[in-house]
């Protein structure tokens, strides 16, 4: 595996040590507490508004906007237009990318079902979050994820629910 290491001083992360994403979907980066979590790094060079997930290499909004909801089309547009941490290049995540944030440990009864040590805030456990994926059986629907229990479902793209923007990865062409 090749790691891209940058100078820590120029990376300006909130974590000590070298700054580099270690995107490998086959790895598990365990966290016990927020203070000792090597998986998530709050990026101070993005005004601490974004979080690098070193398990996947994706950069997430630290605090998705929980006060607004959109239909699927408007959520796409919102993420594509988003300037966060003085950066463009945001998008809706795939259903698999959203699911990568769910803690699959059934002993974890937290709600939302995010991994221990995560720095995220304003994640609703009750309603769904849009993914970029169209439901292939009915193209008028799209996949969503509910962080309360980690379940996935589909719903009409006209429905109004939450969304969480991401950078990096491959995404999908939603058309």
Domain covering 8-167: architecture: Roll (3.10)
CB atoms within 10 A of CB 56: 24
CA distance 126 to 124: 6
CA distance 47 to 60: 13
- Domain range summary for the chain, segments of one domain joined by +: 8-167
The CB-side HSE value for 99 (13 A sphere, CA atoms) comes to: 12
What are the φ and ψ backbone dihedral angles of 11, each rounded to 5 degrees?
-75, -30
Q: What is the largest CA-CA distance in the chain?
A: 49
Average pLDDT per 10 consecutive residues for the chain, totaling 175 residues: 34 45 58 69 93 92 94 98 96 96 87 90 94 93 96 97 94 62
pTM for the structure as a whole: 0.81
pLDDT of residue 4: 33
pLDDT of residue 163: 98
Determine whether 49 is exposed, middle or buried from the number of CB atoms within 10 Å of its CB (0-12, 13-18, 19+).
Answer: middle
pLDDT of residue 12: 38
CB atoms within 10 A of CB 163: 26
pLDDT of residue 37: 65
């Amino acid at each position: 595996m090749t790691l891209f290491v940058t100078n820590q001083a120029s990376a300006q992360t909130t974590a000590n040590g070298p700054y580099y994403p270690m995107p490998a979907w086959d790895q598990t980066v365990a966290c016990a507490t927020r203070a000792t979590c090597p998986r998530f790094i709050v990026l101070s060079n993005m005004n601490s508004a974004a979080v690098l997930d070193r398990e996947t290499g994706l950069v997430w909004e630290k605090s998705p906007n929980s006060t607004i909801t959109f239909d699927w089309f408007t959520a796409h547009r919102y993420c594509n237009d988003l300037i966060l941490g003085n950066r463009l290049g945001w998008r809706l995540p795939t259903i698999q990318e959203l699911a990568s944030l769910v803690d699959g440990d059934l002993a974890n009864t937290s709600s939302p079902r995010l991994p221990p040590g995560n720095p995220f805030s304003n994640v609703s456990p009750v309603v769904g979050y849009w993914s970029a994926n169209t439901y292939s059986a009915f193209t008028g629907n799209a996949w969503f994820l509910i962080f309360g229990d980690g379940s996935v479902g589909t719903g009409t793209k006209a429905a109004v629910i939450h969304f969480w923007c991401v950078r990096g990865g491959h995404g999908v062409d939603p058309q």
